[in-house]
């Protein structure tokens, strides 16, 4: 008996203590000081009088001063009309930030509400020679697709308008919100231990390895819509701070993160200094024609290729994913939308999407929803807001038994071949006489009235009313076809299927190009040209490899049968990493040749293999590759943020006081002090002491690498050491004290 008790006690200790130890080990790896130092406070100011227009937080994500933040408080707009960006950082992490630099926007996506800034000037406006900018503390981006529900995160940012130091708040991932485009995680819903003020927007959220998983985001609402705005300065100089002065808008409390993966293309292009420009002039102006609207709300239990699998009027108990679909029109990237959810009339914040910027196009079908969340039984009312004003709402009952009602699901589109098989990719069809939609049907009953409505660019073009026949059976697949008299003309088509006058499924596809195998030929003859003078483009031969490099690269292609307004995607990759992706409405003629795009970088394009993809509805329609230089990107060791930080102090051994201006040289692991020939290539990192004798190595040290160190200063005996090795047990930062003995 005693042995059994001992065994049980040991077993209980094992299952309790081991997870705690593992957790402690994970937590210990976070370098909080590095996170705090990499977090900056951003002031968008007016250049004429440096009055503050907007504020927010940001995170240094590269050693050379690239800062990831929100677009809404940095890119010039109606709400934030400043034209100068000032970067402040906490010189002591326990103190409020101090303005240090000026920055410029190098990449921005206003819809995703992400921007990348680069530090380019000193605070007084002097240009910074990039070679003299110290290596700044930065953090690495995590693969945000690996973030798990309930994962613990740390959120860093400046909580106040410049009055408080960097704050760190712990929280956890509540759910994932899905929207069209990108991967299936448009937003991370978070629950924080403390409320996160809007000024933190643009900061960073970190996993347990100290990698940035997302950007806390809260858009700025207008005052009329309940947005907060603080009067901070006497902007007009009348001696009073009152309503005549412009105020600084503050976003709402933060409850969502924009995943870090959405920032990767921006970071890739910014770090390589790449810029993409379309040279073909638009033939049409695609712009909103009226007030932004939401309409036609319905619910779906799942999404495939941005389309609902089916339409539901109620969901069974135990539902863990639910999506609200709706049509939108006249939206812009600056439009702010919001979702508020109530369950049986009680606000349910876990399902709310706070005010965020619109990341879709001007019009189309949109969805928002959370999966992996337990929807308790009740009546859910989803209410949508545009710029803080209620725009549309819809309700659904969750609970009760699973019903076996007649349904249509999973629409697929194509062209029927002679054997009756559906040919095509499903979402982009060529111009042809007939288009066919095929649905899965279940639990159908003879005599059930059903209707199919076809629309073209938002206008109804065909309608079929019918009753279900017994010969078709209860379950199966059913094709319906559209045969316009003049054939399918290019544009966006949609089909809605109703049962008993209730929408049961919907789907859409694009018609473009001509028939050519599995995918239509919309784009063709994609080729690359290298020239420094655009006027020489017509005479310059295309090629797929430029071994001796290129300063500017042009890509051109022909197109056919694509109607203006059709959303298409242009995507650039280098060594398979996306650095540019933009979906926009087609604004040129319906067909033509030599649509030209320019890719350039100051100082020339980095060596690498570049790929240009052209897509519609996520279907790859044309792609081509070109090799520049050696055909792959150079490895940049400075770009690694992991490792251990080294700090120290160099003292006069006699007086015990710090010595200013002394060089601490950390030699690469390949060389010893004896082999060091005073060549920069042999140096891993170099630091100079400040007025108190403190120094700080600007690169992190890798665990297990044997470094050598050298301190040589006039008037002192040199100090040198080989075999300085960092072990896994060493906690960051390591602090050294080096006394120097006077020479003679």
Partner 1 sequence: MGIIVIEGISSETPRQRWANAFTIITALVLFLYGLNVRENTLNAVTPYNNVQAGITALYPANWLLDTGENSIFRVRDMTQPGFKTTIQITIQPVSSATTERNLADRLALIRAQTFTDYSVLSIESYMLRNETPAQAIAYSYVNRDTGPFQAGVPVVVAGLDIITLSRGQALIITFRAQSDIYDREFSRFEQFLSTLDF
Task: Return residues touching partner 1 (CB under 8 A).
Answer: 37, 89, 91, 100-101, 122, 124, 126-132, 134, 136-137, 659-663, 665, 678-681, 683, 686, 688, 690-692, 694-696, 698, 712-715
Which among 469, 580, 440, 598 has a CA at the least distance from the CA of 534?
598
The Cα-based distances of 693 to 277, 664, 716 in angstroms read 49, 11, 14
Residue 106 burial by Cβ neighbours in a 10 Å radius (0-12, 13-18, 19+): buried
> Minimum CB separation from partner 1 for residue 682, in Å?
10
- Residues 703 and 728 sit within 8 Å (Cβ to Cβ): yes
Alpha helices (runs of H) in 40-94, residue ranges in sequence order: none
Q: Where are the beta strands (DSSP E) in 111-193?
A: 114-122, 152-157, 167-178, 187-192
> Minimum CB separation from partner 1 for residue 224, in Å?
40
The smaller minimum CB distance to partner 1, of residues 312 and 738, is found at 738
Structure tokens at 282: 């638009």
Question: Are β-strands 52-62 and 39-45 bridged in parallel, bridged antiparallel, or unpaired?
Answer: antiparallel
The smaller minimum CB distance to partner 1, of residues 487 and 715, is found at 715
682 SS3 class:
helix
* Spatial distance between the Cα atoms of 55 and 58, rounded to a whole number of angstroms: 10
DSSP letters of 175-239?
EEEE-SSSSS-SEEEEEESS---GGGTT-EEE-TTS-EEEEE--PPPPGGGT-EEE--S-TT-SS
* Spatial distance between the Cα atoms of 601 and 682, rounded to a whole number of angstroms: 29
The smaller minimum CB distance to partner 1, of residues 311 and 665, is found at 665
> Minimum CB separation from partner 1 for residue 702, in Å?
21
> Minimum CB separation from partner 1 for residue 104, in Å?
15
> Minimum CB separation from partner 1 for residue 144, in Å?
28
735 SS3 class:
strand
The smaller minimum CB distance to partner 1, of residues 151 and 690, is found at 690
In sign, the C-alpha dihedral spanning 216, 222, 224, 227 is positive
What one-character DSSP code corresponds to residue 538? G
* Spatial distance between the Cα atoms of 97 and 158, rounded to a whole number of angstroms: 8
> Minimum CB separation from partner 1 for residue 89, in Å?
6
Maximal C-alpha separation, the chain: 109
Instruction: Give the sheet arrangement for strand 694-696, strand by strand.
Output: 694-696, 646-652, 734-740
The smaller minimum CB distance to partner 1, of residues 422 and 734, is found at 734
Long-range (24+ apart) CB contacts under 8 A made by 482-485 are: 482/434, 482/435, 482/436, 482/437, 482/454, 483/433, 483/434
* Spatial distance between the Cα atoms of 434 and 217, rounded to a whole number of angstroms: 46
The smaller minimum CB distance to partner 1, of residues 89 and 412, is found at 89
The smaller minimum CB distance to partner 1, of residues 537 and 686, is found at 686
> Minimum CB separation from partner 1 for residue 679, in Å?
5
- Residues 612 and 555 sit within 8 Å (Cβ to Cβ): yes
Looking at the chain, how many residues does it have? 744
> Minimum CB separation from partner 1 for residue 635, in Å?
18
The smaller minimum CB distance to partner 1, of residues 418 and 533, is found at 533
* Spatial distance between the Cα atoms of 41 and 57, rounded to a whole number of angstroms: 5
Q: What is the CA radius of gyration of the chain?
A: 30
The smaller minimum CB distance to partner 1, of residues 42 and 392, is found at 42
The smaller minimum CB distance to partner 1, of residues 36 and 309, is found at 36
The Cα-based distances of 187 to 70, 255, 612 in angstroms read 14, 10, 28
Which among 365, 344, 367, 341 has a CA at the least distance from the CA of 354?
341
Residue 179 burial by Cβ neighbours in a 10 Å radius (0-12, 13-18, 19+): buried
> Minimum CB separation from partner 1 for residue 725, in Å?
24
* Spatial distance between the Cα atoms of 716 and 660, rounded to a whole number of angstroms: 13
- Residues 384 and 393 sit within 8 Å (Cβ to Cβ): yes
* Spatial distance between the Cα atoms of 494 and 177, rounded to a whole number of angstroms: 25
> Minimum CB separation from partner 1 for residue 396, in Å?
53
The smaller minimum CB distance to partner 1, of residues 628 and 659, is found at 659
Structure tokens at 456: 């073209």
The smaller minimum CB distance to partner 1, of residues 46 and 100, is found at 100
The smaller minimum CB distance to partner 1, of residues 43 and 136, is found at 136
Question: Are β-strands 407-416 and 523-530 bridged in parallel, bridged antiparallel, or unpaired?
Answer: unpaired
> Minimum CB separation from partner 1 for residue 102, in Å?
13
> Minimum CB separation from partner 1 for residue 127, in Å?
5
The smaller minimum CB distance to partner 1, of residues 466 and 692, is found at 692
Kindly give, in sequence order, each residue whose CB lies less than 8 Å from that of residue 538, ignoring residues fewer than 6 positions away.
Answer: none
> Minimum CB separation from partner 1 for residue 661, in Å?
4
Which among 326, 332, 382 has a CA at the least distance from the CA of 357?
332
HEC assignment per residue over 313-336: CEECCCCCEEEEEEEEECCCCCCE
> Minimum CB separation from partner 1 for residue 681, in Å?
8
> Minimum CB separation from partner 1 for residue 103, in Å?
13
The smaller minimum CB distance to partner 1, of residues 703 and 719, is found at 719
501 SS3 class:
coil
The smaller minimum CB distance to partner 1, of residues 63 and 298, is found at 63
The smaller minimum CB distance to partner 1, of residues 94 and 285, is found at 94
The smaller minimum CB distance to partner 1, of residues 501 and 678, is found at 678
Kindly give, in sequence order, each residue whose CB lies less than 8 Å from that of residue 205, ignoring residues fewer than 6 positions away.
Answer: 153, 154, 155, 156, 171, 188, 190, 212, 213, 214, 215, 216, 257
């Amino acid at each position: 008996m005693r042995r059994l008790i001992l065994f049980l006690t040991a077993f209980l200790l094992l299952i309790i203590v081991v997870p705690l130890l593992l957790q402690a080990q994970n937590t210990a790896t976070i370098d909080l000081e590095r996170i705090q130092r990499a977090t900056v406070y951003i002031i968008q100011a007016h250049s004429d009088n440096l009055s503050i227009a907007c504020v927010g937080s940001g995170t240094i994500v590269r050693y050379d001063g690239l800062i990831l933040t929100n677009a809404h408080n940095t890119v010039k707009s109606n709400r934030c009309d400043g034209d100068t960006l000032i970067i402040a950082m906490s010189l002591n992490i326990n103190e409020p930030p101090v303005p240090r630099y000026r920055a410029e926007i190098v990449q921005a996506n206003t819809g995703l509400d992400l921007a990348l800034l680069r530090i380019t000037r000193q605070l007084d406006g002097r240009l910074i020679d990039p070679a003299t900018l110290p290596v700044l503390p930065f953090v690495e981006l995590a693969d945000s697709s690996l973030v798990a529900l309930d994962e613990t995160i740390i959120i860093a940012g400046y909580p106040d308008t410049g009055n408080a130091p960097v704050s760190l708040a712990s929280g956890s991932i509540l759910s994932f919100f899905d929207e069209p485009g990108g991967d299936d995680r448009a937003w991370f819903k978070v629950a924080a231990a403390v409320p996160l003020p809007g000024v933190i927007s643009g900061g960073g959220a970190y996993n347990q390895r100290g990698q940035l998983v997302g950007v806390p985001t809260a858009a700025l609402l207008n005052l009329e819509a309940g947005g907060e705005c603080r009067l901070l300065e006497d902007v007009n100089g009348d001696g009073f701070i009152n309503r005549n002065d412009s105020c600084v808008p503050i976003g709402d409390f933060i409850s969502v993160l924009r995943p870090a993966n959405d920032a990767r293309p921006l970071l890739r292009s910014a770090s390589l200094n790449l810029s993409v420009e379309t040279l073909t002039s638009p033939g049409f102006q695609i712009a909103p024609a009226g007030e932004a609207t939401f309409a036609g709300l319905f619910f779906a239990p799942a999404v495939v290729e941005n389309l609902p699998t089916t339409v539901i009027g109620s969901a069974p108990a135990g539902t863990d994913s639910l999506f609200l679909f709706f049509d939108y029109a006249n939206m812009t990237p600056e439009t702010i939308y919001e979702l508020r959810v109530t369950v049986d009339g009680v606000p349910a914040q876990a399902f709310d999407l706070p005010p965020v910027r619109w990341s879709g196009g001007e019009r189309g079908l949109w969805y928002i929803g959370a999966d992996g969340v337990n929807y308790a039984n009740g009546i859910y009312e989803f209410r949508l807001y545009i710029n803080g004003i209620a725009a549309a709402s819809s309700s659904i009952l969750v609970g009760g038994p699973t019903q076996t009602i007649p349904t249509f699901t999973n629409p697929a589109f194509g062209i029927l071949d002679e054997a009756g098989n559906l040919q095509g990719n499903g979402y982009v069809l060529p111009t042809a006489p007939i288009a066919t939609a095929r649905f899965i049907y279940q639990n159908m009953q003879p005599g059930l009235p059903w209707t199919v409505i076809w629309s073209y660019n938002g206008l109804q073009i065909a309608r079929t009313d019918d009753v279900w026949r017994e010969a078709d059976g209860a379950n199966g697949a059913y094709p319906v076809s559209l045969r316009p008299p003049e054939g399918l003309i290019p544009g966006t088509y949609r089909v809605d299927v109703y049962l008993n006058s209730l929408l049961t499924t919907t789907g859409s596809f694009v018609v473009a190009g001509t028939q050519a195998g599995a995918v239509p030929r919309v784009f063709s003859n994609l080729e690359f040209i290298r020239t420094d003078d655009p006027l020489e483009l017509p005479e310059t031969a295309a090629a797929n490899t430029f071994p001796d490099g290129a300063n500017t690269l042009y890509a051109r292609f022909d197109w056919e049968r694509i109607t203006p307004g059709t959303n298409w995607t242009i995507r650039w990759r280098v060594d398979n990493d996306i650095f540019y992706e933009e979906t926009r409405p087609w604004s040129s003629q319906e067909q033509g040749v030599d649509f030209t795009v320019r890719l350039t970088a100051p100082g020339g394009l980095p060596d690498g293999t570049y790929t240009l993809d052209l897509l519609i509805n996520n279907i790859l329609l044309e792609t081509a590759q070109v090799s520049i230089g050696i055909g792959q990107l150079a490895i940049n060791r400075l770009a690694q943020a992991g490792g251990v930080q080294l700090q120290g102090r160099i003292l006069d051994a006699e007086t015990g006081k710090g010595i200013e201006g002394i060089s601490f040289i950390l030699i690469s692991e390949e060389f010893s002090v004896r082999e060091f020939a005073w060549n920069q290539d042999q140096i891993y990192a170099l630091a100079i002491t400040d007025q108190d004798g403190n120094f700080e190595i600007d690169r992190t040290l890798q665990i297990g690498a044997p470094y050598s160190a050298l301190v040589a200063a006039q008037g002192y005996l040199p100090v040198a050491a080989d075999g300085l090795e960092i072990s896994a047990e060493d906690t960051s930062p390591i602090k050294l004290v080096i006394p120097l003995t006077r020479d003679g």
